[in-house]
Amino acid sequence: MSKSASRARLVEIIRKRSFGRGEITLASGRKSDFYFNLKPTMLDPEGAALLAELTYEALKDDGLDYIGGLEMGAVPLAGAVAQISWLKGHPIAAFFVRKKPKEHGAKLAVEGLAKNESLKGKRVVIVEDVTTTGDSALKAVEAVRDAGGEVVLVLTMVDRQEGAVENFAQAGLAFRWLFQASEYLKD
């Protein structure tokens, strides 16, 4: 399937499985009359494959070592992209950042790295399923920087277009998206 055909198909899947209208309270506490819940798309076989493919294509030339982000939204994305990157011969390892470090065991904030692995000096992309203001992604950025990683980009599947561009620019971070809310609000 061509990139444009893959993208068009994924728009359909997101519209059917993950987009809705109706009042909702966002993670930020703000109210909205539309929402994206990308978990049904990320966990659908075709949706997962298309998200992984398009995300990998968007990132393959960025010289990345790791892909990850804040739990839960980044977990299926990072895992799927890690798998496809291996299959395409350009491995990008995955990790995720806990919202709160575990209170037992190793008490880690960053999960998925082996004992001998570190983000120190590594080029990292932070991924999100849906981005509103970018605050959640910035928490992951902070954890990666605390671990010594270099965050080169934040990539979201859907930008709600409600402040993230400005917030990431202010933080000195490159920001890209696969889709924007305006693509779904036309109808």
Q: Please tell me whether 162 is known to bind a ligand.
A: no
Question: Would residue 16 show up in a list of annotated catalytic residues for this protein?
Answer: no
Q: 53-104: per-residue pLDDT in tens?
A: 999 999 999 999 999 999 888 999 999 999 999 999 999 999 999 987 666 5
User: What pLDDT band is residue 111 in, cutting at 50, 70 and 90?
Assistant: confident
Question: d(Cα 59, Cα 31) in Å, to the nearest integer?
Answer: 32
Domain ranges of the chain: 3-185
Give the number of C-alpha atoms closer than 13 A to the C-alpha of residue 22, restricted to the C-beta side.
Answer: 3
Q: Is 55 annotated as a binding residue?
A: no
- 139 labelled ligand-binding: no
Query: Of 100, 104, 115, 120, which residue is the catalytic one?
Result: 104
Determine whether 113 is exposed, middle or buried from the number of CB atoms within 10 Å of its CB (0-12, 13-18, 19+). middle
d(CA 114, CA 122): 15
**131 is annotated as contributing to ligand binding:** yes
- Three-state SS for 74-94 is HHHHHHHHHHHHHHCCCCCEE
Question: What pLDDT digit, counting tens, does each position of 136-186 carry?
Answer: 999 999 999 999 999 999 999 999 999 999 999 999 999 999 999 999 998
- H helices within 18-73, ranges in order? 39-42, 45-59
Residue written as token pair 């910035």: 138
CATH architecture entry for 3-185: 3-Layer(aba) Sandwich (3.40)
100 is catalytic: no
Q: Which of 3, 16, 88, 102 is catalytic?
A: 102
